[in-house]
Amino acid sequence: MPAVTLDRIRNLGIIAHIDAGKTTTSERILFYTGREHKLGNVDEGTTTTDWYFEERERGISIFSAATTCYWRGHRINLIDTPGHVDFTAEVERSLRVLDGAIGVFCGVGGVEPQSETVWRQADRYSVPRLAFVNKLDRVGSNFAKVVEQIRTKLKANAVAVTWPIGEEAEFRGVIDLIERKAMYFSEEDDGATVTVEEIPPELRDEAEVARAEMVESVANITPWMEEGFLSGRVFTNDEIRKGLRENTIARRIVPVFGGTSLRNKGVQPLLDGVIHYLPSPLDMPPVRGTHPETGKPVTRKPDPNDSLSALVFKIFTDEFSELVYVRIYSGTLRSGEVVWNPRLGKRERVTRLNLMHGQAREAVDSAGPGEIVTVVGLKTARTSDSLCDQKYPVALEAMTFPEPVVSMAIEPKNTADKDKLSETLTKMERDDPTFHMRVDEETGQTIVSGMGELHLDIIKNRMKHMYKLDANVGEPRVAYRETISKAADGEAEFIRKVTEGKGQYGHVKLRIEPDPGKAGVQVTNAAPEGSFPKLFWPSIEDGIKSAALTGSVAGYPMVYVKATVTGGSTHPTDGHEGAYNAAAVMAFQKAAQKAGGVVLEPIMKFDVVTPVGNVGDVIDDLNRRRADIHNVEQEDDRRKVTGLTPIAEMFGYANALRSLTQGRGTSSLEPHDYRPVPEHVAKHLFGSDT
C-alpha cells in the first residue's frame, strides 16, 4: 500500500444504533475508494466487515472489523462497529483508539436509543464526529428533523453541510451547501459516477437558507470569522471549510451529511467530509500515560523516531491463531522486535504484523504512529495493555468495561471435552472483556456471564462452529453481585509446618469498606514498610481478588468494595507466596462476614418504542416487571417509554413486546447500575433476608 504522511491519515469509526446502516455505509466506502470492486450486501451475506458467519446469518455486526482504504491521497483506517447493546465493548475499545467517527442515523428513526449510547461513548473519549443521515429514500424520512434531533437529544451542534434533493422515493441526490452545487449519483455503475450540476431552481432558496445557517453557526464560534461575519464579509469556500474543520476537531460542531447508502447516493461527499473535517494523528493532543514505576505523567507525540507507545485494544482468537489489535501512538513497531508490557513486567517478541481487511490479512514489516495493525506472537497481552520500549516505559490509560448481567451454566457433552471446554472459555474470556467465566465452588458448575441473552447465544454458537466444541447450556439467569454495607477489619495467619526443610508462613491484616461506583474490588497496599516482603504483594493481591469472587451471602462476586492491606508480618526463613495468598483469602473472608453483605441485582435502562394505541398495555406490562418509568415521549404516531428495571424481569421481553404491539414495538436495554435486591424478592430467590 502507498505510504502517506501523518497529516494524510484518518483513523475513523462507524457508530450507530442497530439497523441504521453502518455496515452498508462501510461497504460503500470500500467500493468507492476502490478497496472492493463489488458492492457487499448485508442481506446477501457478502459484506467485507461482517465476515463472521453468524453476522451474515443474522444480518447484524457482532465484532468490530478493521480495514484500510484510500481517498484523494489520504489513508483511511476504518473500523465498523456493532450496533447491538450486547456488544458495547466492541464499540468502547474501538472508540478508545480512534481519532474520529461517523455517527450513522436512520432518516426515519432518527436518534434511537443505541445512538445515544454510542454517542456518549464517543464523548467519553473526546472523539470528533461527523453525522450521516441515511435511508433518505424511505417513506417517512426527514433530514431536517433528524438534524434537529441530533441537536436536542445528543446536545450536539449539528450543522448541515449537504442538503437532500427530493424526499422519500423521490430522493435523487444532495446539494453541496459550500460549493452551491447539486450532486447526482449514477445508477448504471452503482453510484460511482458523480455528476455535478446547478441547484434545481425550486430548491435554490431553501439551499441558500441552509447555507446561511451553516456559515452563521461556524462564524459564531470561530474568533477569526466572527468580526468579519458581523460586518457582512463573504467568506470563501476554503475559509468555511477551515472553520468547519477547526470546530469539528475541537468538538464544537458536528457536520451533517445526507444520503442513502443502500441506493448508492451521498457517500462520496461524506468521504470528502472525512478528509476535510476529521483530524489526522497530528491534530490530536499527545497521548498521555504514566511511568509504570514512578506514577509520573508521561506524554508521547506522534513521531516515528520517538520511543514506542502503543495500546492493545482488541484480541481475537480462533482455532488457528491469535490476533492482537494495536494502535500505535509513537515510535515504530517492527516485525521481529521485542516489546515491553509494563503491566506484566515482561518482554515479548512480535512475530508478525498485519494490516487487516475484514478477515483478510496483509503482512507488513513495520508500522508507525497513527497506524492500526494486528500483531501475532504476543501470548500474554490483554485488552488495555500498553506496549513500549523497556528503556522508556509508559502505561497508557486503560479502558473500563461494564460488568456482565446475564449468566448461564455450561458443561461439556462428554468428559473427554472437559479440558477443551476450559481452554476454549479461557481464550474467549481473553478476547472479550465483558465475558467472564467462573466455577461455582458449591456445585462445581462452570458459569459463564455476558451482556445479554444474544451475547451468550453468540458465545455458545462460536464454541460450536469456531472451536468445534459442543456443550450443554442452562437457561440464561441473572448475574447477581454482592457488596458490603459497612467497613470491617480482617486478619489471618497461615502457618504450615513440615518435618524437614522450610515451613510456610504468611500473615495479612486488611480493612474493607464500601466503594460505590467502582467495579469489582479495588486493592491497595497501605502496610508499613517491612510488614511483608514486597515480592509477595502480587500473591496477597491475587488472594483478595480471588476471595471476592464468592462473596459472603449467596456466593456471588463482589463489587463496590475497597480492600486496603494495613499490615502483616514476616518470618526470617518460612515466608512463602502461597501462604501469603492463603492468609489474604482468609483475612478477606473474615472481614466480609462482619461487613454486612448485600446481594445486588443488575438494573437496566430501557427504551421502548410503541405505537400510540398500545402504550397503555406496554406501560402496564412494564409496571408488572418492577419498572421505574421515567418518561413517555411523543414521536409522531409513536411513544417512547424510558426508565429503569431489573434485568431479572426482562428475559424474553422482545417476544412479549411483539405480542403486545402486533410486532410494531421495539426495545433496547442497556446496563445502568446495581441495586440491592428487594427483601421479598431475596426471600424467594435465596431463602433468607439479604
pLDDT of residue 263 exceeding 90: yes
Question: Which three three-digit cell numbers place residue 566?
Answer: 494495613
Question: Which residue, among 474, 543, 73, 88, has the nearest Cα to 271 in the 3D structure?
Answer: 73
Q: To the nearest whole number, what is the mean pLDDT of the chain?
A: 90
Q: Residue 319: pLDDT band by 50, 70, 90 thresholds?
A: low
Q: Are 349 and 338 in contact (CB under 8 A)?
A: yes
If you average pLDDT over residues 1-18, what whole number do you get?
A: 88
Whether the predicted pLDDT of 689 surpasses 70: no
110 DSSP assignment: B
User: pLDDT band for position 241 (50/70/90)?
Assistant: very high
Tell me the mean pLDDT in the region 215-224.
Answer: 96
**Given pLDDT bands bounded at 50, 70 and 90, which one contains residue 53?**
low
Residue 584 has phi, psi (to 5 degrees) of -65, -40
Question: How much is the pLDDT for 44?
Answer: 65
E strands of 82-180, at which residues?
100-106, 129-134, 158-160, 162-165, 173-176
> Which three cell numbers, joined as nine digits, stand for 133?
443521515
155 φψ region: left (φ > 0), alpha (ψ -120 to 50), beta (else): left
226 neighbors 219 (Cβ within 8 angstroms): yes
Residues 184-209: tens digit of each pLDDT: 999 999 999 999 999 999 999 999 99
pLDDT tens track for 632-641: 988 777 888 9
pLDDT for the residue 340: 95
DSSP state letters, 234-300 = PPPHHHHHHHHHHHHHTTS-EEEEE-BTTTTBSHHHHHHHHHHHSPPGGGSPPEEEE-TTT--EEEE
Nine cell digits for residue 136: 433518505
Residue 688 has pLDDT above 60, yes or no: no
Cα 29 to Cα 568: distance, rounded to the nearest angstrom:
61
At 17, the pLDDT band (50, 70, 90 cuts) reads confident
Which residue in 353, 136, 128, 337 sits closest to 250, CA to CA? 128
The answer, yes or no, to whether residue 61 has pLDDT greater than 80, is no
Q: How far apart (Å, rounded) are the C-alpha atoms in residues 556 and 558?
A: 6
- What are 440-455's pLDDT values in tens digits? 766 778 889 998 888 8
Residue 43 has pLDDT above 70, yes or no: no
Task: Give the up-direction half-sphere exposure of residue 398: CA atoms within 13 A in the CB hemisphere.
Answer: 11
Q: Whole-prediction pTM value?
A: 0.82
Strand pairing category for 9-16 and 74-80: parallel
> Are 641 and 615 within 8 A, CB to CB?
yes
Q: What is the pLDDT of residues 152-170, one digit of tens each?
A: 999 999 999 999 999 999 9
What are the cell numbers at 21?
A: 446502516
Question: What does the pLDDT read at residue 51?
Answer: 66
Give the whole-angstrom CA distance, residue 579 versus residue 494: 6
pLDDT, position 65: 86
For residue 162, which of 199, 211, 220, 219 has the smallest C-alpha distance?
A: 211
Decide if pLDDT at 12 tops 70.
yes
402, 481 contact by CB (below 8 A) = no
Given a cut of 70, whether residue 485 has pLDDT beyond it is yes
| Residue carrying C-alpha cell 497529516 | 7
Rounded distance between C-alpha atoms, residue 260 and residue 107, angstroms = 9
pLDDT of residue 628: 94
**pLDDT for 222:** 95
Model confidence at 252, pLDDT cuts 50, 70, 90, reads: very high
- Residue 542 and residue 548: Cα distance in Å, rounded? 10
Q: How far is CA 57 from CA 293, 458, 675, in A?
A: 48, 12, 37
- Provide the phi-psi class of 300: left if phi over 0, else alpha when psi is between -120 and 50, else beta: beta
Res 371: pLDDT: 94
pLDDT tens, residue by residue, 361-389: 899 999 999 999 999 999 889 999 999 99
Spell out the alpha helix ranges (H) of 595-652.
615-624
370-382 residues labelled b (16+ CB within 10 A) or e (exposed): bbbbbbbbbeebb
The fraction of the chain above a pLDDT of 90, given in percent, is 62
Cα–Cα distance measured from residue 456 to residue 404, given in angstroms and rounded to the nearest whole number:
10
- What pLDDT shows up at residue 161? 98
Please give the average per-residue pLDDT across 491-495, as a whole number: 95
Q: pLDDT exceeding 70 applies to what percent of the chain?
A: 96
Identify the pLDDT of residue 687.
65
DSSP strand pairing (488-496 vs 477-478): unpaired
Vertex 107 angle, CA 104 and 112, to 5°: 65
- Tell me how long the chain is: 690
Task: Give residue 50's pLDDT.
Answer: 66
Contact 281, 301 (CB under 8 A): no
Mean pLDDT calculated for residue range 505-511: 96
Pick from 246, 218, 202, 219: nearest CA to 158:
218
Please list the alpha-helical segments (H only) found in 534-667: 537-547, 577-594, 615-624, 653-660
Contact between 6 and 281 (Cβ < 8 Å)? yes
Rounded to 10 deg, the angle between the 577-594 and 537-547 helix axes is 40
| Residue 579 in this model has a pLDDT that exceeds 70 | yes
Residue 567: Cβ-neighbour burial (10 angstroms; 0-12, 13-18, 19+): middle
The answer to whether the beta carbons of residues 133 and 20 sit under 8 Å apart is: no
Amino acid at 327: R
Least confident residue range of 29-43, 162-176, 334-348, 515-529: 29-43
Q: Is the dihedral of CA 96, 97, 101, 105 positive or negative?
A: negative
